Each structure stands twice: as structure tokens, then as C-alpha cells.
Structure 1
Amino acid sequence: MFVQAGKTKESIIEAAIELFTSKGFRGTTIRDIAARAKLNPANISYYFQGKQGLLEACLVSFFEPYLSLLEEEKRKIEWEDPEICLHRAIRKVLVFQSENHLLSRLVWREITIDSQVSREIISSYLMKERYYFKTLTSAAVGEKHSILPVGMLIIQLKGMLSTPFLNSQYVSEVWGMHPKESYFIEKYYGSIIEWLQSAVNVQKSALYVARLPAPAIKTV
């Protein structure tokens, strides 16, 4: 009984993700989702209390495991090299989004739309996401390299992690591969790590220059 209920809910969520992604939330009806899932429309009302409840379930199905990945690496910085933890978190996030590319696209698109649903459901998740990224990045970069704000690194890193899945068609045109491909993940992960290390080096260089004595000004 419980197994059957779980499979039914899973089928509804999978159908909703596909249709919300291709037709949009407003353009998708309960009947569309039920037809795709090959179920009676009454099942959607029973399990999710309507289309908005179903969208909320889709968002939760993304953020719960996504944040668990970040939280796991955040805990490890207490006994492991923080830089390794940050790099590992980046790769885990990319792999997770690649394996759930349609859901990732739906979630990041809903955030850009800034609908009432996204504000109510996503805001608390985004606060946790910012906390985990700030903790990981600050620990990896170090407070002593604060000339280039850690906040700016987080904003840029966040954009790099979400953009390929929000604009997968553009990525396919530029790189000739889709974000759901494992080869893309390996190449893109390497590019992010190179950028991150370069950004940290810029911080260190800027810190060194800032500490140099100011040149003497000759007076006539």
C-alpha cells in the first residue's frame, strides 16, 4: 500500500517536472499532468492538494538533497582541508544538477520569475544555501585574503553552478555538449576550479601590493 502510494507520487512529480519545464507552470493543467503520469486527476488533488502544492513538492524534491550535499561538506571543514571540501561540494552540486537537469532548470527558472510560490517556499532554502557557500568559501579562501570580498566570489560561483542548467541550450551551442553529459561535468568542473584558484591568487596578489610601502613622492 505504502509502496504503491510512493510510486504514484513519484510518477506525478516526474510528469509535473517535465511539463512545468516545457510548458511552464501556468501553461500546464492538472489534466495534462495526470495524462502524462497515466493516472486519474483526482490522485493529484489527493496527494498534493492541487497544482501549486505539486510545484512546492517539486521544489522540495530539489532543495532537500541539494542542501544536504552542501551541509555534508560544510561539516567536514572542521577536520579536512577547507579548500578540498569546497572543491568537492562544487563537483557534487554539478553532478546532482546533471542527474536532475530538468528539475534543476525548473527550480532556477522559478527563482528568476520570483513568483509568490517561489518566495514562500524557496526563500528559506536560499538562506541555507548562502550560509553553506559562505562558510565553505570563507574557510577555503581565508579571512586574511579579504581585499576581494568573499561575497563576490559566492555570487560568481553561484552563477557558474546554475547557469548551465538554466540555459542548457546556450551551453550546448557554445561547447557542443549538454550539461547532462558526464564529460561536460568533468570539463566544467575543471574550469570552475581554475577560475576559483585564479581568483584566490588575485586576492593574494592584491594583498601583497597593498602591503608594499607607498612610493616616495619627490618634491621640487
Structure 2
Amino acid sequence: MPSRKASKEKVIKAAIDLFNVQGYAGTSVRDIASKADANVALISYYFGSKQGLLEHLMTDFLEGFVESIERHIEHIDETGAGAVLLSAMWDVMAYQQRRHHLARFVHREITLDTILVRELMTTYLTKEKSLYKKIIKTGYEKGEFRHPPNDYWVLQFRGMLILPFLHPQYIREVYHLMPHEGHFLSRYYQEITRWLSPLFNGEIPRELKESPLG
């Protein structure tokens, strides 16, 4: 008999798969239970309801998403704002790639106007914006960056980081690239680093231009 943890993970995986294909509204608790080979009561036990499962998926993803940025800021005085920005950029993309099915669903769901989405934006996405602005502000004040924080710049930067995971099918079908592969992440990191070059006062150090995967 599978462990409770294994059963819970199966339910989560089944829900992500079905929500991506059928949408949240088009997926029933019975659909999820059937795909997970689990009892409907198990979903109620772990999550309370389909809405509870949705909240768990989105909150869990966004907590890790924001933490991928936040943990680097602790070292901004030691490593500098430029290194923090690029390290956070890599971790945000790598985090989404590791959880690419969930990333696609959450980013799509965030486009809807619901009470849950409004709460998540206030809790997580407003914090994400403030973290990026803090990095740029610190870099500008210390002479690493050419300009102070700008909402449109942050919006563009964030858009580039989530685009491959929000629109993976578009990228695969139109550009014949595979966003879930490590090679894609390395190349994409280098391209965004080039886009960031005008922000820096002077050349970006060579070791920061290369992705952690080489």
C-alpha cells in the first residue's frame, strides 16, 4: 500500500496535469482522483476541496518562486548587486524549469481576476517586484548600475524570466526550442545577460556572463 506522502504527491501531479489540459474549471475532483488512482476522500483529507488543492499548488509554487530571489539579497553587501541580480535570475528560471508543468499553470491562473489571485499578488508578486527594485536601487546607489529602479524595467525583466514557462508550446512549435532542457536555460540566460549589459556601469564580469551550467 502506498504511503500517505506518495499518495498526496500523486494527487498533486494528477491535478497539475489535468489543470493544464482541461483547465481548473473543467476538472472535477473525481477526475483528479481517477488519474491519481486515489479515493476522492483522500483529496478532501489533504486539501479540503478542489479550491483548497488549487490554493496549495499556487501558494507552494509562489513561495519557492519568491524565495529564489530573496535568498540572494542577504548577500548583496558581500557580492554586489550585479552578482545578486544574475544569481537570482538564474535561480528563478531554474526553479520554473524544475517545476515547468506547475509553472505554466500558475502563471496562466495569475492572469485571471479572482479573490485568490488578488491575495497572491498582494502577498507574493508585490514582494517579487519590491525585491527586484531593491536590487536595482542598491546597485545604482553603489555605482554598479546606470539608472535607478523603474517599474517598466522590472516589468520587462520579469516578463522575460517567465515567458518560456508561460508559453512553452509557442516556443516549441514556433521556434523549435525546448524550454524544459538544460541547454535552453544556459543559452537563454546568456541572452538575457546581454540584454542587461546596458544596465551595468562597465563590463559584466566574464564569470557572471556564463550560466552555472557552463
Give the distance between the partners of 1:132 and 1:163, measured in 2 at CA: 19
Give the distance between the partners of 1:72 and 1:174, measured in 2 at CA: 35
Aligned partner of 2:159 in structure 1 is 159
Give the distance between the partners of 2:94 and 2:170, measured in 1 at CA: 19
Give the distance between the partners of 1:48 and 1:70, measured in 2 at CA: 28
Structure 1 residues 89-131: Cα deviation after superposition (integer angstroms, max 9, x where no partner): 1011111111111111111111111222222334311122112
**Count of aligned pairs:** 200
Residue 174 of structure 1, CA deviation: 4.1
Aligned partner of 1:190 in structure 2 is 190
Residue 57 of structure 1, CA deviation: 0.6
CA 1:171/1:137 → structure 2, altered by over 3 Å: closer, same or farther? farther
Residue 83 of structure 1, CA deviation: 0.2
Q: Which moved more, 1:145-154 or 1:33-42?
A: 145-154
Residue 78 of structure 1, CA deviation: 2.1
Checking the alignment, whether the CA contact within 8 Å between 1:34 and 1:41 is kept in structure 2 is yes
Q: Which moved more, 1:95-104 or 1:166-175?
A: 166-175
Residue 198 of structure 1, CA deviation: 2.6
* Aligned residue identity for 2:187: K
* Aligned residue identity for 1:25: Y
What's the TM-score, normalizing by structure 2? 0.85
Structure 1 residues 35-63: Cα deviation after superposition (integer angstroms, max 9, x where no partner): 11110011111111110000001012211
Q: Which moved more, 1:110-119 or 1:21-30?
A: 110-119
Give the distance between the partners of 2:190 and 2:154, measured in 1 at CA: 17
Structure 1 residues 7-39: Cα deviation after superposition (integer angstroms, max 9, x where no partner): 222221111111111110000000110011110
Aligned partner of 2:3 in structure 1 is 4
Structure 1 residues 162-210: Cα deviation after superposition (integer angstroms, max 9, x where no partner): 1111111222234321211111101111111110113446xxxxxxxxx
Give the distance between the partners of 1:161 and 1:13, measured in 2 at CA: 25
Give the distance between the partners of 1:6 and 1:123, measured in 2 at CA: 31
Give the distance between the partners of 2:64 and 2:104, measured in 1 at CA: 16
Give the distance between the partners of 1:123 and 1:171, measured in 2 at CA: 30
Specify the structure having the higher radius of gyration (Cα): 1
Checking the alignment, whether the CA contact within 8 Å between 1:141 and 1:200 is kept in structure 2 is no
Aligned partner of 2:92 in structure 1 is 93
* Aligned residue identity for 2:154: I
Give the distance between the partners of 2:92 and 2:147, measured in 1 at CA: 27
Checking the alignment, whether the CA contact within 8 Å between 2:146 and 2:199 is kept in structure 1 is no
Q: How does 1:1-220 map to 2 (within 5 A)?
A: 4-142=3-141, 149-200=149-200
CA 1:129/1:147 → structure 2, altered by over 3 Å: closer, same or farther? closer
Q: Which moved more, 1:144-153 or 1:182-191?
A: 144-153
* Aligned residue identity for 1:177: L
Checking the alignment, whether the CA contact within 8 Å between 1:52 and 1:117 is kept in structure 2 is no
Give the distance between the partners of 2:191 and 2:45, measured in 1 at CA: 46
5+ residue gaps in structure 1? 202-220
5+ residue gaps in structure 2? 202-214
Give the distance between the partners of 1:76 and 1:147, measured in 2 at CA: 21
Q: Which moved more, 1:40-49 or 1:164-173?
A: 164-173
CA 1:32/1:7 → structure 2, altered by over 3 Å: closer, same or farther? same
Residue 146 of structure 1, CA deviation: 6.8
Secondary structure of residue in 2 paired with 1:79:
helix
Q: CA RMSD in A?
A: 2.1
